[in-house]
Amino acid sequence: MNQTIHNLLTEQLASWETARNNYAALSGVQVKELNVNGTLYKVQFNPARIVSSGAKVDAKSIKERKCFLCPANLPAVQKGIEGHYNILVNPFPIFPRHLTVPETAHVAQRIAPRFGDMLDLARQLTDYTIFYNGPKCGASAPDHAHFQAGNKGFMPIEQDWRRQVAGKVADYGQATLWWLNDAP
């Protein structure tokens, strides 16, 4: 699957000007690292990301726009790997390899029924860290279920989480959900 995704990213950057320009803009992103009480934060100044991070997500705006994660509303140039979740190149990247993984159907952005899906994606996309950005946590599409994925090793928490583990929440088959003490 990782090679298929690599091929998708290569093809999309060759054929999709918006994505190509925004990935090229990553080279100019300014990053500052902050250590706050022993937790490392990376703060990005990424002007090309403002289209996504500045999206209007109030109820009226969402009701009046077409959902940009629904297959029928994707730009014609945007291609993906289709399934129950579509794997798409995120045209407004934070990571050097940034994917958006929306459910094909237009359903609410809620994590509770999707823990198993998230684990399945993590097993398939071994070169990526899968994460969930909830409707009240800055998701630019709070009305459409989706995950995001970024190349492994980019986020500080990937190196730090073991020393921050505070307690086990629950076991889910082969996975364990932990809560972290004083972590972002």
pLDDT of residue 26: 86
Give the residues of the chain that fall short of pLDDT 50. none
* Residues 64, 75 contacting (CB under 8 angstroms): no
* Residues 36, 160 contacting (CB under 8 angstroms): no
Q: What is the dihedral of CA 164, 169, 173, 176, to 10 degrees?
A: 0
The pTM of the full predicted model, rounded to 2 decimals, is: 0.79
- Give the span between the Cα atoms of 37 and 28, in whole angstroms: 29
Neighbours of 139 (CB within 10 A): 18
Assign 160 to helix, strand or coil.
Answer: helix
pLDDT of residue 180: 75
* Residues 85, 172 contacting (CB under 8 angstroms): no
Q: Which helix (H) or strand (E) holds 30?
A: strand 30-36
pLDDT of residue 67: 86
* Residues 127, 149 contacting (CB under 8 angstroms): no
Any residues with CB less than 8 A from the CB of 105 and at least 6 apart, and which? Answer: 145
Q: Cα separations (Å) of 58 from 53, 62, 65, 100, 184?
A: 13, 6, 11, 21, 25
Assign 58 to helix, strand or coil.
Answer: coil
Lookup: tokens for 165: 């583990």
- Find the farthest-apart pair of alpha carbons in the chain and give their distance in angstroms, rounded: 47
pLDDT of residue 116: 86
pLDDT of residue 171: 82
Neighbours of 158 (CB within 10 A): 11
pLDDT of residue 115: 85
pLDDT of residue 15: 97
Assign 116 to helix, strand or coil.
Answer: helix
pLDDT of residue 101: 96
